[in-house]
Amino acid sequence: MRTEPAPVVVCITSSPDERARIAGQFEGTGILVLAPDAGVAGTFLRRLAGAGPGVAVPAQLAGSPPTADDVVRVGSLTLDVTRHEATWRGNGLPLTPYEFKVLSCLAGRPGQVWTYEQLHERAWGGTYFAGPAAVQSVIKRLRGKLRAAGASVTIRATRGVGFRLDGGPELALVRSAAQR
State residue 65's pLDDT score: 34
Are 85 and 77 in contact by the 8 Å Cβ rule? The answer is: no
Q: Starting at the earlier edge strand, list the strands of the sheet with 162-167.
A: 114-115, 162-167, 153-158
Helix, strand, coil percent content, the chain, rounded in steps of 5:
40, 25, 40
**Which contiguous run of DSSP H or E holds residue 77?**
strand 77-80
State residue 60's pLDDT score: 37
Q: Which amino acid is at 147?
A: R
- DSSP secondary structure string, 97-139? HHHHHHHHHHHHSTTPPEEHHHHHHHHHTT-----SHHHHHHH
Are 70 and 81 in contact by the 8 Å Cβ rule? The answer is: yes
pLDDT-derived band at 88, boundaries 50, 70, 90: very high
What gap in Å lies between CA 103 and CA 165, rounded to an integer? 8
Q: Give me the helix-helix angle, 133-148 and 116-124, nearest 10°.
A: 80
State residue 111's pLDDT score: 85
Domain spans in the chain, listed from the N-terminal domain onward: 8-61, 68-179
What gap in Å lies between CA 80 and CA 33, rounded to an integer? 25
Fold classified for 68-179: Arc Repressor Mutant, subunit A (1.10.10)
Of residues 135 and 170, more confidently modeled:
135
The model's pLDDT over 62-71, given as tens digits with 9 standing for 90+, comes to: 333 334 457 8
The model's pLDDT over 120-149, given as tens digits with 9 standing for 90+, comes to: 888 888 766 777 888 999 999 999 999 999
Q: Does 151 have pLDDT greater than 80?
A: yes
CA angle 75, 78, 82 (to 5 degrees): 150
